[in-house]
């Protein structure tokens, strides 16, 4: 299977309501929170695997795909022709058929200081929130208070998602004539559109933990989608911007 190039989506992810993606409390001083957010160099980040897992699961639900109870997610059997979710997001090595390598790569997302709100920045991007269990009948607080750290609203992360385009994705076998999203060859067009669709679903769902209690509303901003054919790496030319704008406008017709 021949690699033809890459589709690269760059953008930002704005935290709208407190975001909790759990990290390890190992190495955190006594007196700190029971439930810290994941960090690198003392700054919160969003692991690519968290974003990938959430987006895959939203597609599985929205397409009513069969969930494998052992894996806790959907995966087509090795004897079956894989569905688009399995082609794009991959299936375990022992289940792989002739679909080739997993197409999509989600980079870890780091904070963009310039685009983040001043108030979030001044507080170091996180807060510790007290949590408790409320009895719904008596409205009384029950059980011990717990605290949890969360990333503050107004924190903005950089997002990069790469789609590796193989000849199996592209009926026309060349990315040369692609000028806009609508020009993408089949089945690449449908597969990439599926990723954009799941990002829009995510904005109405949540990322991270405690989503049904108000956490984890996020919004994608400043979306740019580029095509990078292999010729770019050989001759330094051919990169084209296919789309620039808001996610809700990035619908491939």
Q: Residue 48 CB, nearest distance to Zn ion (Å)? A: 21
Query: Could you give the CA distance from residue 116 to residue 153 in angstroms, rounded to a whole number?
Result: 9
Q: Could you list the residues that contact Zn ion (CB under 5 A)?
A: 76, 83, 86
Nearer to Zn ion, 14 or 56 (CB): 56
Q: Residue 197 CB, nearest distance to Zn ion (Å)? A: 16
Is the separation of the CB atoms in 46 and 206 below 8 Å?
no
Nearer to Zn ion, 66 or 173 (CB): 66
Q: Residue 221 CB, nearest distance to Zn ion (Å)? A: 31
Question: 10: buried, middle or exposed (CB in 10 Å: 19+, 13-18, 0-12)?
Answer: middle
Nearer to Zn ion, 45 or 163 (CB): 163
Question: 107: buried, middle or exposed (CB in 10 Å: 19+, 13-18, 0-12)?
Answer: middle
Site of tokens 């052992």: 70
Query: What is the number of alpha carbons within 13 Å of residue 87 lying toward its C-beta?
Result: 20
Q: Residue 78 CB, nearest distance to Zn ion (Å)? A: 11
Nearer to Zn ion, 86 or 218 (CB): 86
């Amino acid at each position: 299977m021949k690699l033809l190039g890459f589709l690269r989506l760059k953008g930002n992810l704005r935290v709208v309501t407190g975001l909790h993606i759990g990290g390890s409390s190992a190495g955190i001083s006594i007196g700190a929170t029971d439930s810290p957010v994941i960090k690198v160099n003392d700054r919160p980040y969003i692991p690519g695997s968290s974003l990938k897992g959430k987006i895959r699961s939203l597609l599985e639900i929205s397409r009513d795909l069969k969930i494998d109870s052992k894996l806790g997610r959907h995966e087509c059997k090795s004897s079956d022709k894989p569905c688009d979710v399995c082609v794009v997001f991959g299936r375990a090595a022992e289940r792989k058929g002739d679909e080739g390598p997993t197409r999509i790569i989600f980079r870890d997302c780091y904070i963009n200081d310039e685009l983040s709100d001043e108030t979030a920045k001044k507080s170091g991007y996180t807060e510790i929130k007290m949590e408790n269990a409320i009895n719904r009948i008596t409205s009384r607080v029950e059980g011990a208070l717990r605290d949890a750290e969360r990333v503050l609203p107004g924190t903005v992360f950089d997002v990069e998602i790469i789609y590796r385009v193989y000849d199996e994705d592209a009926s026309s076998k060349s990315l040369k004539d692609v000028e806009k999203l609508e020009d993408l060859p089949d089945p690449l067009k449908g597969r990439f559109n599926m990723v954009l669709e799941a990002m829009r679903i995510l904005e109405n769902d949540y990322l991270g933990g405690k989503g049904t209690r108000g956490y984890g509303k996020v919004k994608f901003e400043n979306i740019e989608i580029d095509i990078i054919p292999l010729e770019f790496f050989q001759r330094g030319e051919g990169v084209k911007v296919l789309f620039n704008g808001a996610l809700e406008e990035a619908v491939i017709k």
